[in-house]
Structure 1
Amino acid sequence: MTAQPGSLPALPACARPADVRIEVYGGDSLDASVYVCRQHVTLSAAALDAYGWRAEPAAVRPLVTRPCGYAYRYPTGRLADLAHPHWCDRRGCLDRHRHRSLRLPVTSGRPEASIAEVSLSQGLTAGLEPVIALAVADAGNHEVTLSLGQGRVLSYQVRRLLDLTSRRRGR
């Protein structure tokens, strides 16, 4: 059976602290991590295998606490929410009528005259291209000026966002 895009089988979830992280692969990509207690490792791995996913148990990293049955779907994998671009932070899209990436600060690490953040933004209508959004808070000036340091950081952050748009889901 081929891994089914967007779906996982029903997995045990007893809510005890997870001892094992099961990496879920569909082909060569890491698509999800499922956290389970020791008692449910074999049953969960078998269910994932029967559904067409490759399950590879691994230790839970120190300081990571998850309940048995918790699943994290990687936004670039085959289990991603296809209603959102892979770069979308998935919070508040419907309220603002736009997808938006995390806002990245544009700061040189020194006090600045204005506070600036840059992000990707895209309307919810299918087929719209993402745009670069620059949010700036200043002392009420109509003209926004950025220091050379902020301009340099802005160029790095914009390149980072542009790199995100060139990656495709599942790669």
Structure 2
Amino acid sequence: MLHHSASSFADSHFPGVATAMKYILDVVCRVNCIFRVTQSYPLRSVSSFRLPSYSFSTGHVKGSEELSTAEYDKLSDETLENLADVFDGLGEKYNLNEEYDVQHAQGVLKVNFGSSLGTYIINRQAPNKQLWLSSPRSGPKRYDFIRARQEWVYKHDGTALHTLLEEEVSDIVQSHVTFPKR
């Protein structure tokens, strides 16, 4: 009864506050419900509670203005060609196994280090103006070209594509390998 009279008092004397309190209570109840559900299910289910995204990119990196289609085409083609050149030279320089193979065609660069080390795939995603990487070591990543840095960057952590490739491939060949920024 005390709760009801306090609620009536708030409604009659402070109508805006009462409405705000009801809204806050509703939000708290919804958050509490989501919290209980996410505790009951594995982490992979938590992603279903994310807000919708209007872009495949997440995060914000300074200088990440949108590229024109012509700029994207030129930069992505140039980058894939330069990466293919580096990968082509690795087989001979480091005497990699006979399974080592580099294929570059139609916006897709595929580098097979063999069954024990896996395959890297780097491809264009023209609708998103991104380069996508599938790495046997670090998994999938989506890279946006950042004008201010003049390189392809994974917006989740700010790591450049060439930096990640240098780390992973240098580890594979047991020697420092340098990749171009673009």
TM-score by length of 1: 0.21
Of Structure 1 and Structure 2, the greater helix share is in 2
More strand by share: 1
> TM-score normalised to the size of structure 2?
0.20
Which fold has the larger relative contact order, with Cα–Cα distance below 8 Å and residues 6 or more apart in sequence?
Answer: 1
